[in-house]
A and B are shown apart, each in its own frame.
Chain A
Amino acid sequence: MDTQLKRGLLDVCVLSVLSRGESYGYKIITDLLLYIEVSESTLYPILKKLEQNRSVTTRTAEHNGRLRKYYMITDMGRQRIKEFLVDMEEFLKVHEFIKRGGDLL
């Protein structure tokens, strides 16, 4: 997939994973693996960005004697998913148009 396109999608993918409940780095990557491949070096800036624009909040908890950072989606994050879906509707119309070979209905 085109990297530019993938980058835009990944933010929402991560938010979608988190909309089912809090999660942590490794789990986010494995949850997404079925649909889209994400490396840790790709995930790190995404999580950082989502944290900065307040789409997620974090908490650090102990797990097996070490620290683990958990990410939770916020209302702003949910709003972002909604906006993405609306944008996608528009996008799909264009997609159909392109698929028809530019034929007007």
Chain B
Amino acid sequence: MTKEVWLKTFKDALQKMPRREASKAVAFYREMIEDKIDAGACEDEVIAKLGNPSDVAKKILEENGIRVKSRDTEKASKEELDKLYQSRFPLWVTLTLGFFGVIVGLPIVIVWFALLVSFFACFVSLMVGAFACCLASLVAVVLGLVGTVGNGWAYFGACIAGAGVCMMLTVMFGVLAKLMIKATAFAVKRIATEG
């Protein structure tokens, strides 16, 4: 490895540091290498003695409180975590839980969702129907189709009342749905944290 390659690798490894600090470190090592070569040492020897530029950089980063995760430690910590999980929950527990989760949980979720959708559809269609009736009765009033004019107005009034009730129910249902979703989320969270 030449001096320039070493310094380039070193600089790249310091990327997590503020640029000013990194270039200070690079300048320090450049000066050191060049002074040693000026003093009569051979470039290869100087570079070899400095060691791996990534290791030197890692040390500096750590002194600056920047945690460096090499691939090895990352892998190790993942393995440790896996081991921890496995010691707390043997594989069969995890698998059984997963199995029951899918068998029991999925239908519940589907039914829950279907219930929500159908409720919503019911109320919305009722409301639409009520408004349609209102409109129809108005048309009937205008055209004088429903017996006397008074009957048409009564019909219209009843329809408007129906539409109003449906609107209220829709709003109530909206609130109810929200509560149901919140309750589900809360329950899932509790189960997840306690598990």
CB distance B50 to A40 under 8 Å? yes
- Give chain A residues whose Cβ lies under 8 Å from the Cβ of B36: 26
Count the B residues whose beta carbon is within 8 Å of the partner chain — how many? 18
User: How many positions in chain A have a CB within 8 Å of any CB in the partner chain?
Assistant: 15
Shortest CB distance B45–A (Å): 14
A25 to B51 alpha-carbon distance, docked (Å): 18
How many A-B contacts at CB < 8 Å in the complex? 38
A3 to B28 CA separation, bound complex (whole angstroms): 23
Is A44 engaged at the interface, CB distance under 8 Å to the other chain?
Answer: yes
Q: Chain A: which residue is nearest B28 at the CB level?
A: A44
A64 interface contact, C-beta 8 A: yes
Name which residue of chain B comes closest to A30, CB basis: B39
- A65 shortest CB reach to chain B, Å: 10
List the one stretch of A10-18, A66-74, A78-86, A95-103 in contact with chain B. Answer: A66-74
B residues lining the A interface (CB < 8 Å): 24-25, 27-29, 31-32, 34-36, 38-39, 50-51, 56, 59-60, 63
